[in-house]
Every structure is written in C-alpha cells, then in structure tokens.
Structure 1
C-alpha cells in the first residue's frame, strides 16, 4: 500500500485526504498545536493519526505532498527533510515564487528525496484530484506515471527544470486574484452609490459572462474566505515580478486588498452578492447610501 504524508491540512490537504483511496495517510500541520484550529478539526474528521512533527509524518512514506501556505514553502521542506526516506517523492503544491521552490528542491534532493514542482492551475474544487496541475523538475515525468493511478488525472508534464510551473501559476494569480480585488473595490463603492447593477451590466461589454452578479459573488466570497492565504501568494507573485525586472505595483496592491478582505470577512459567506456587499459595508465607517443617479 502506498504511504502518503500530507504537509498542511487546510482546504487542499483535506481534499487530497478525502480523495486518495487505497493509501495509508499521515499528516502534519503547524496548526495541530491548536486543537481548535481548522487543521486539527480536519484531522479528527478524517480520522488521521496525530503526528508530533513533520519528520514523524513523513517517515516510511512513498510520497510527501506539501500543501502549506506560500510563505512556509521552504520552511516545510526543511522541517520534513530529516525524515525523508531515500527516493521518496516530494510534491510541492504551494503557490511560492520560483526561487523559493528551487531552494526547497535543493533541500529535498540533498536529503535523498525526489522533488517535483506542481502548480495547481484552478481552484482545487470542484475538480479535486482532477484539477489541472503543471509539473516541473527532472522527476516530473516519472512522477506523473506514478501518480495517475492514485487519481491525479489532471497532470501535465510542463518543464524538466524547477521554476517555470510556479512562474506560470503566479503570473496567472496576478490576473485572477487581481480581478477579485478589483471587483471588491469597484462594487463596494458602486453599492454606496446604488449603481452596482449598472456597473455589472457594463462589464459584459468587454468581459462576457452569463451572470456577472453570480460570478462576482463567487470571486468576492473566495477573497473574503481565503484572503490571508491569497495575500501570501501575491507577495510571492510580487517577488517573481520583481525578479523579472518589473516593479510589482499591482501584485503588492492586490496583496493589500486580499489582506483587507480577510479582515472584513462576514459570518455568512453563502449570501448573494448584494447582501454580501452590505454585510461588508456595515463594518465600514461613513457608508450611508448616496442613492442612484437620476
């Protein structure tokens, strides 16, 4: 039986734990120290054994999947490295900058593991194990053959070096998370003036969508729910942009707006767009509606 260790038991790690059938699972998350954390609750719900540290979690495994926050990508590799069995796959799903991934690869390879860069190119749900993933590094092709029978059907061998897959992911993130940030700023202001309907209708002139109100509610709710994690990702994107010789004006601004969204998350994220906007605006000073134009 294939033994799999999950580093990180948040949204992505939980999906993997639920869908990886016929394997022996272990997990480690720094949040396990807090029994009330989402990671601890996920471990109890999934019936995963509680491990005391990353080294214990990865010992005697065939595959380690790192699904931590972007800022902890290299930290996770370093924490697991002393326990990696020789030849163990180490798959790095994190939205970290290419430089951080390359440093993580050096740590894993030095410990005797086989590092594989992976960039998840869509939300993990609803496709779950079938979500599209770009693989990079010298072991990418061999890992794809190993992983497809486990259910990873969206894999694409993308590069034989580490870096291009994460660069692709983070350039995409500037666009996708940027749209979330733009919608938040635009629609909260439009709601103040009572013109949100007209603004949304006008978007289809250039950006066709069957239902901009539904799409905006989805994107906005994702930002509110995962803003802190998205902000970390955009700071990694800013590093990547700066590394290309471009001032990361937009990536840094998006990170700020994503942090802001996380700080203004309402209790109910399942609302339609207008109640969601109103729930956010209710937290802000001086937001009395100015009314629609004549």
Structure 2
C-alpha cells in the first residue's frame, strides 16, 4: 500500500516512521514549507518530500492529512482532484464537524473514502500510541485495509460505532470544552493556592475527587446543581472576594458566578426537593442556558440600536 502524509509537523513526523517500518512501500511526505526536521526525516526514512500535494498524491492508496484545521477543507479538495479512485483519506486535522462532513461528501462524490480521525491526547507524549477515534466508512474494503495497516504500525485506532464523518471531531471539541476549561481553572486556582502557600494542602483536600469515577462525579455535579445553585453561588462569591482581596487575577470566577446566578434565579420559583436524574437536569439546564442567551442577545441588539452613529469616513 502506497502511503502519503500531508503535513510534516509534529503529528506527521510522529506517524511517518511507524508506517515506514512496515516496509510495504516508500512513504511520500508532502509539505509546502518543509522545516529542517521534515527534511531530515525524509532523508532518514528514504522518503520522497514534495511541496505540492496534487503533483504526487494521485499515486497513493492511503493519505494521512496531518495539517492544521484551517487547511483541512483545502486538503480534502486537493485529494478529491487527484486521479486515484478508491483512495482513502484519514483526516487528523482538528476542524469543525461541518468541515469534516463537507470533506467526506466531496470525496464520496468522486469515488474516494474519507475517515474523520480525532487525536484524543498529546502526540508529543503518547507518540504513535496516542488514542485515536475514527468515524467514517469502516465497512469499505479499502478502509479496512488501511485500518489494519495502521494497527500493525502500532496506532491505537478505535472506531466510533454507528458514526459518520464529523462525529469524531465533535467529540474531540466537546472533550476540549472539558480539558481546556479544567486547564484554565487549574491556572486560576493554583496561582492563588501558591500565593497563599497552600498548594500541596489543596491537593489533600481535593483527594476525595480521586475516589469517584469521572463520569459519576460529573453527573453528580450537574444533578445537584439545580438543587444547590443558590448555596453554591454564595461560595463562589466568597471565593472571588478572597482572590480579589489578595489582588490575584480573577478571570473565570465572574463567569462561574454568572452561571450559578442564572441557575439560582431560574430555580427560585420551582422549589425542588429531590435531586433530578442527570438527563432531567441537563435538559433543564439547556433550557436555562438558552433563555439566558436570548436575553443577552436581545440586550446586545438593544445597545447596538440605541448607539449614536459615529462619524462617517
């Protein structure tokens, strides 16, 4: 199987050696602005290195797109223009679900196979064994052959059941909501903990979190949020005051206060006495969130309409 890799950045440089070791065929690398690291890799692997994908990828059976998300659609269009019926494109770019769906449609129309792949971890840490989540035409013979080859190369490739292109990208972005939000909270919280000299003590008082499986912990949070938002709002306000009194950076807590405040206001008339199920709580929270969003949008529109026109240029 002839393999082409578009984009020889961190991801491409990680995947190329593993595939090259299989020895099935020389690897073709493609990067319009190759770095010294890309050139060295091509030399070490005995791989071709080209700058224009359309000039060479028509000869490849399997193409791995390892570009950034902004270029994902362009790469898919380039691959679609190549004269290579039955070709398989594994798209590792972090792009929107709609970009991935559009790319899949474009390749399907010209007899190609498209697989949406989300990298669910840090390649810099996990290397070729970083977990990968795929969605696409798993049952196509060409895709199965490509999948089997990647598994032999050591890829940790799992298929998302009954999924279509775009679904893996959607899950990755939802994962980012959690992980990037947690990262931001860690920054705000640990800066304060270090300032007060209690960082290691904080780890101790957070140790109970380690004793609960993450899904159960998250569902406990959203299930009890409706019932206890008002009390927890007071704690958020006290925490924010503590940081402000110490002249520490406070960027997330005002947003958190706003979320708890919106829930507390919405639930003030309902007088819940029992904790709802996670599903029930999430439906109610979606309704509250949409209501708050509509109010904010209306207020923004009103401010714009009432604004005096500025000077004409």
Flag whether TM exceeds 0.5 (same fold): yes
Does the residue aligned with 2:33 lie in a helix, a strand or coil? Answer: helix
- Is 2:55 aligned against 1:52? no
Which position in structure 1 is the counterpart of 2:122?
123
In terms of fraction of residues, the more helix-rich structure is 2
Pairwise CA distance, 1:110: 3.3
- Name the TM-score, length of structure 2 as normaliser: 0.57
Matched with 1:257 is none
| 1:83 maps to 2:66 | no
Shift of the alpha carbon at 1:45?
5.1
Take 1:155 and 1:144, find their aligned partners in 2: how far apart are those partners?
12
2: CA distance, partners of 1:129 / 1:45: 18
- Does the 8 Å contact 1:5/1:64 carry over to 2? yes
Corresponding residue for 1:199? 202
Matched ranges for 1:1-294 at <5 A: 2-20=1-19, 21-22=22-23, 23-32=25-34, 35-36=35-36, 38-40=37-39, 42-44=41-43, 46-124=45-123, 128-139=127-138, 142=141, 143-150=143-150, 151=152, 152=155, 154-207=157-210
Aligned-residue CA RMSD in angstroms? 3.1
Rounded Cα–Cα distance in structure 1 between residues aligned with 2:83 and 2:64:
12
Partner Cα distance (2:166, 2:51) in 1: 32
- DSSP-derived class of the 2:111 partner: coil
Match of 2:244 in 1: none
Unaligned runs of 5+ in 1: 210-243, 248-294
**Cα separation, 1, equivalents of 2:89 and 2:47:** 20
Partner of 1:119, secondary structure, is strand
My pick for the range that moved more, 78-87 or 3-12, is 78-87
- Gaps (5+ residues) in structure 2? 213-285, 291-313
Q: Structure 1: which 4+ aligned runs deviate by more than 6 Å?
A: 244-247
Larger radius of gyration: 2
Task: Please give the TM-score of this superposition, normalised by the length of structure 1.
Answer: 0.61
Whether the aligned pair in 2 keeps the contact of 1:59 and 1:84 (CA below 8 Å) is yes
Contact 2:114-2:136 within 8 A present in 1 as well: yes
RCO (CA 8 Å, sep 6+): is it higher in 1 or 2?
1
Distance 1:65 1:122 in 2: 18
Equivalent residues of 1:159, 1:165 under 8 A apart: no
Deviation at 1:139, TM superposition (A): 4.4
Q: In the alignment, which residue of structure 2 is the partner of 1:235?
A: none
Residue 260 of structure 1: aligned partner: none
Q: How far apart in 2 are the matches of 1:133 and 1:50?
A: 25
**Equivalenced residues, count:** 210
Is the contact made by 1:58 and 1:83 (CA closer than 8 Å) also made in structure 2?
Answer: yes
| SS in structure 2 of the partner of residue 18 of structure 1 | helix
